[in-house]
Structure 1
Amino acid sequence: MLDRSQEPKLATLPSGIRIAYRKFQGKSRIPLFCIHGLTGNLRNFEPIAKGLSKKGITVITYDLRGRGKSDKPEGQYSAKVHAEDLKQLSVVLGYKRISVLSHSLGCWITLRLAESHPEILEKAVLVDGGGALSPQRKFSNLLMIRSSLARLGKTVPSKEVYLEEARKSPILSAWNDDIRNFLTYELEPLGTLSPSLNLSNGSGPLGPVRCSLPPFVAESELESMGGSMDPAKILLKFCKEPLRSFRILKENNRLPYSALNCPVLAVRAGKPNLKPGDELLPDSAIKKMEREIKLFRVLDIPDKNHYEVVLLEDGRRDKEIYNFLIH
C-alpha cells in the first residue's frame, strides 16, 4: 500500500513553477536544502538527509525544475534560473536563511545564489563541483558524463531492463537500494499497462518506461555553460555564433567566489571516473577556491568518484558534513 508520507509535496513559486520537495524534520533553526546535479533528483541526497535529520538537522531535498515531479516547462534552464527557484522556494516554505548541500551542477547553482542573494546563505557544502577548469578539462568532463546523459528520454521495455543497464555502468563500483530508488523515481510509465509510480518503496511502474528528464532540459543547461550533449555541436556553435560563444565562456569563467561570505566546505572525490585526470576538482581548482573564498576548507574522499561520492555510503563524509553544519 502506498505510503503517502513518502511522496514529495508540491510548492508553487511566485513565478508559477511547481517544485517537488521532501522535508526531513529536525530541530535546527536553519534548514539544509539539498541541490542535486544535472541528471539527479530529490532522492540523490535522501540517505544523507535521513541521517542528518535523525541528528537534529532539518533537511529539504527537492527536484530542480525539469526533473522528477517538478514542472518541466519549455524555455531556458541555467544555474541562474535554478538559483532564483531556490530563493523563491525557501521563501514559500517560510525560511529567511538556509544552508545548502550541493553536488555537481548544484554547486554552480550555489555560486549563482551567493551572487544574487548572499544574505540568505548560512553555510554551503560543495560536493565535487563549482571549480574553475581549463577548456580542455571541461571538454574531458563533458565526455565523461555522456554515459549518464544517454539515458535521458530513453524508452525501455521495463523498469528492470532500465535498472540492469544502469547497474552495468563502469562509473559505479557498487550498487544499493538507494541507487535503485533514485533511478526508479525518475521513470515514467508509457501506455495503459503501467500503474502510477509508487514512490514509497521504489517498486515503480510495470511495462514500458522512460527516463522522465527531457533531453532539452540538460541541453539548455549545458548550453548556458558553453557545452552541449553532443560535443560536435560545441565547435559548430563557435563557428556560427563566435561572439555569443565567447561571451558564455567568459561569463562562466567569472566565478563569484567572493560572494560566498558564509563558511564553505568542499567535498572532493579523488577517484577517477573513467580514467586518471577526469576528476572534477583538480588541485588547481581547489587552490583557486582557497585563495578567493574567505572561510573555506576541503574534505577529500579518495576512494569515490564524482557519482559515488553522493550515491554510496561514507561515514566519514556524513560525520564531517554534520560537524561542519553544527559548529
Structure 2
Amino acid sequence: MTQVLETTNKPFLLKVENLTKHFAIDKKQVVKAVDGVSFTLKKGETLGIVGESGCGKSTMGRAILRLHEPTSGTIQFEETDLISLKRKELRKRRKDLQIVFQDPYGSLNQRMTVGAMLSEIVNTHKLVPKKETFEYVSNLLVEVGLRKEHYYRFPHEFSGGQRQRVGIARALCVDPKLIVCDEAVSALDVSVQSQILNLLQKLKRERELTYLFISHDLSVVKHISDRVAVMYLGKIVELADKKSLFDNPNHPYTQALLSAVPSVEKNDKRERVVLKGDVPSPLNIPSGCRFHSRCPLATEKCKVEEPAFHQVSENHFSACHYA
C-alpha cells in the first residue's frame, strides 16, 4: 500500500514513493527492513525520522542514497530518478547527496590524514584546480569549527566531536544539496551534541542545505526538525510538523514514545504509556496493523485489516483505525 504524505503542490527536492528494502536470509525467509515508505522533502527543510532500534530508519536513509540497493519503489531527486541511474551517472549525481554516519571514528580512514582524505574527494570530483586544493580543504575545516593545522592530523588524534566535524566537512566537500544525518550525534556527549546540532543548523542557513535527520532521540529531533516521521517495523505510521506531532500525537505508538521522554517540568502530568511485549521480528511481520500486538487500542479489525495512511488534520497524517 502506497502512503500519501503530501497534499500540497509545492516543489520538492526529494520524493520517495513506496520504497522497499528486503534482505533475503534464504529461499524462504526475507527481512522486510523497509516496507513501503513514501514521503517528500522540500528544499531547505529538515525531516526527522524517529523510531525504535531496528525499525528501518538507517536502512531507509542508505537505500535513498543507494548505499543499499532498493528492492522496489521510486526515488526522485529534483528531476532525476535515482534508481534508474547507471553506476557512472549515479557517481556524478552523488555530489548532491551526502551522508554523515553515526560512528565518526569507524567512518574515517585511519591510515590517512584528514587533509589527504578530503583532498582525495576534491581532486576526484575536480572541484578546484589541484594547486588550490589545500586552501579549499583548510577553509572547509575552519567552516566546521576546526583549525587549518588539523589538515595534517590522523583521525585517532581527534576527540569524538572533532571527528564528527571531520565527517561533516567530508560531506560538505562536494557542496551537496541534501545530507542524510544517520544518528549523527547519538555517539557524542550531550554538551558536544548541542555544538554539532548548532553547527548543522548554521550550515543549513548559510549553504541552504536540506537534511534527512535520523535519530532515536526525540528531544534532538524536536530541536532540529521542521517535520517528523515516526517509523515502526519498516513503515511510517505518523508524519506531521513537529509542533503538531509533539503537542498532539495521534498514533498510539507515537504517544507511547513521547510519554517515555523524561521531563523537568514540575507540574508535568503526562501519563506513561507502557507497551506490552517486544517489537515483532521483521522476518515475521504481524498481519493487519503491524502494531496491533502491542497496541492498547487494538481490536479484531486491527489484526486483519491494515490501516490506511490518512490525513487527520492539516499536514498531519496517521496510520491507525481508531487514533
TM (normalized to structure 2)? 0.25
Write 1 or 2 for the structure with the bigger share of helix.
Answer: 1
